[in-house]
Structure 1
Amino acid sequence: MVDHNKFILRVTAGSSYDVSTHQEVKVNTSDAVNISSDDIDATIRVRVKNYRGLPKDSPSDAEYFSHPSHTRDLYSIDFSFKPKQTWSGDEIVFGNDFDHPIRDRLPPGFGYALKLVKWMIDPGLDGDPYADIPWLYGPLLSSVNILRIGDKDAPANDEEKIVEEGAEGEGEEIRQDKSIPENPSARMKHFLTESNRTDFEFEAGREYKCDFFNPYLDFNEFALKLPGFTLSIISSWDGQPLRYVLKRRYKDKDIKDSTLLFVVCFTLLPVDQ
């Protein structure tokens, strides 16, 4: 069995799949990666509990994990974004994809683990991990643990804060008008219904804050730890990074024709590299 202690993690983010164009994420710090493209302005922070990785001076933990809401969580992808055009709520997806097939590398028990993930974490998750270009995406509105709707054309605020479900300014009216539940779990369930997603708009110039986290993916041991079931990631690793992507999909086109908005890459590197 592969020893996870022989590897460290590097986290990068950018608006392209080309990692050479990415910025390195300073994990567990207040420093954010800022991304600006023709489609979006975004700010990204990543937190990993018991972090072992680059940059070498990265803190092993963040105050985030001491917050009462996050004492069990193992990582967080915290991001905010402002679209530069208005999109339907059903168009924006969040999830994972890969450049090359992984079907021959999937460990025993993967199918069962995926069913557990859909049941416990994200019922809206869809995709094809057995495809030549594997993907697993869920609607952003039902996938992120926390969603906060901000004001339109408000000045960007890069200050690090733990994002809480809710709204600011005009965003409160939007949540009320669209009957969006105040509770995060209820909001996620609300947006599992397609008509509720198509009735929502990500407006150009309005800020949306999100936090995606869970207590199941252990980046220290590179394993998925579900209740009563642990799936080693590193034992089946083929060298590809684990990518989290925000994308715009098109209703009448193949998912491969979707537009990448940003990507966060978790890349394993040998300790002695």
Structure 2
Amino acid sequence: MAEKYLIRVTAGPSYDINSHVQVPVNDPTPVHVASDLFEADLNVRVHNYRGLPRDAPKTSPYFQTELHRHNGDQYSIALRFRLKRPPRSHEEAGSASRLQDGVPATDLQFGNDFDHPIRDRLPPGFNTALNIVKWWIDPGLDGDAYADVPHLYGPALSSFNTVHVGEGEHDPEKGGLWFEEGGDDDGMKWRSEVGAPDDAKARMKWALKQDSKERWIWEYNRTYGVDFFNPYIDFDAFALKLPGFNLPIIKYWDGQGLRYVLRNRVTGQVYLVVLFTLHLAEDINQDGTLKPAALQALAHTSGGLGKGKPILEGGPERDEDGASEDDAIDEARQKLSDVDLQGKTPTNDDDVD
């Protein structure tokens, strides 16, 4: 069934699909996204890519670098960005209070959300898969997949595999934007001043602590490079593949795109949306443009989580779905122990002091 579909990746500064540009997947040349609040250059890499544009490379040299070849990583969202200082309102200008110098790590979130409920489409074993992800891959993940506006977010500081304070590199032989954990000279000094460790595993562990998230401020007009990657989503087969748990996504798909969002937890402001949309191959013209049926389907992805409302707390705990969670977690513990986040073993909440 998967071969009937093609992927289209777009990115923009809001949920509105009209604000998006199509991302040339696996092209080392970044696309630029900008708004009054945010500016970024973006590369999306997908291994065994099957989608638009039709001449997109099947893969990227990024996946042949030592780290990503060892991990078997399947995709990457890499961006060089800076947050812009929000315009000062008339009321703020007349008050004695001052605007913050940036967005605290408690408030800058990265994750997924959907326009419409998905609770009736979630497969048996979903809670087990989510608990594997939260236990081993991203302990900071929180949200409610069963809500009317489903969402799963984590603090960006602990969710991104690589965080570089500074410009980083652009190297076509590595697939475009390339960031090592750490920073340039000024960035390393800045990290040291806030107490952030120099390597990825230690930084992700450190970032799970409340006091660390309060000390790290994503400063306005400072440049950061971040990369999000993993081996768990196979975009060729449209499947989620975790040790002990495989899910054919296409079997439960309800037509909504897979949306990655960078947002402010408190204000609800959206900075960046990267949208992976599936289209029937028959709904795409030979030149890669969308036929009316595909355009109509795409229009349903333009709403966004609560129209930009803040999400301050995660959703309620849900009953287990009867899957053998203990067996799956045990298999995940054994198989994920070799996965390398950035030259280190994975972070899990058992590591947090």
Aligned partner letter, 1:265? L
Match of 1:186 in 2: 202
**Conserved? CA contact 2:13–2:38, under 8 Å:** no
Structure 1 distance, partners of 2:35, 2:20, is 13
**Conserved? CA contact 1:32–1:158, under 8 Å:** no
User: Does structure 1 residue 211 correspond to structure 2 residue 227?
Assistant: yes
Deviations 1:54-104 (A, max 9, x none): 000000000000000101100000011111122112110000000100000
1:197 Cα deviation from its structure 2 partner:
0.6
Structure 1 distance, partners of 2:46, 2:30, is 14
Match of 1:82 in 2: 82
Structure 2 distance, partners of 1:223, 1:81, is 30
Match of 1:51 in 2: 49
Structure 1 distance, partners of 2:261, 2:78, is 13
User: Does structure 1 residue 221 correspond to structure 2 residue 237?
Assistant: yes
Structure 1 distance, partners of 2:169, 2:200, is 23
1:158 Cα deviation from its structure 2 partner:
6.1
Match of 2:280 in 1: 270
**Conserved? CA contact 1:124–1:138, under 8 Å:** yes
Aligned partner letter, 1:174? W
1:109 Cα deviation from its structure 2 partner:
0.9
Structure 2 distance, partners of 1:239, 1:20, is 18
Aligned partner letter, 1:114? L
Structure index of larger Rg: 2
Match of 1:253 in 2: none
1:157 Cα deviation from its structure 2 partner:
7.5
1:20 Cα deviation from its structure 2 partner:
2.7
Match of 2:290 in 1: none
Match of 1:19 in 2: 17
1:22 Cα deviation from its structure 2 partner:
0.8
Of Structure 1 and Structure 2, the greater strand share is in 1
Greater Cα shift, 122-131 or 227-236: 227-236
SS at structure 2 position matched to 1:20: helix
1:162-177 matches, cutoff 5 A: 162-177=178-193
Match of 2:270 in 1: 260
Report how many aligned residue pairs link the two structures: 261
Match of 1:254 in 2: none
Structure 2 distance, partners of 1:23, 1:196, is 35
User: Does structure 1 residue 97 correspond to structure 2 residue 109?
Assistant: no
What do you get for the CA RMSD once the two structures are aligned?
1.4
Structure 2 distance, partners of 1:208, 1:248, is 16
Calculate percent identity across the aligned residue pairs: 49
TM-score normalised by length of structure 1: 0.92
Structure 1 distance, partners of 2:26, 2:195, is 35
1:147 Cα deviation from its structure 2 partner:
0.2
Of Structure 1 and Structure 2, the greater helix share is in 2
1:174 Cα deviation from its structure 2 partner:
1.2
**Conserved? CA contact 2:78–2:177, under 8 Å:** no
Distance 1:157 1:49, change over 3 A: closer
Unaligned stretches of 5+ residues in structure 2: 86-101, 284-353
Deviations 1:121-167 (A, max 9, x none): 1110000000000000000000000000017xxxx976634211011
Structure 2 distance, partners of 1:189, 1:246, is 20
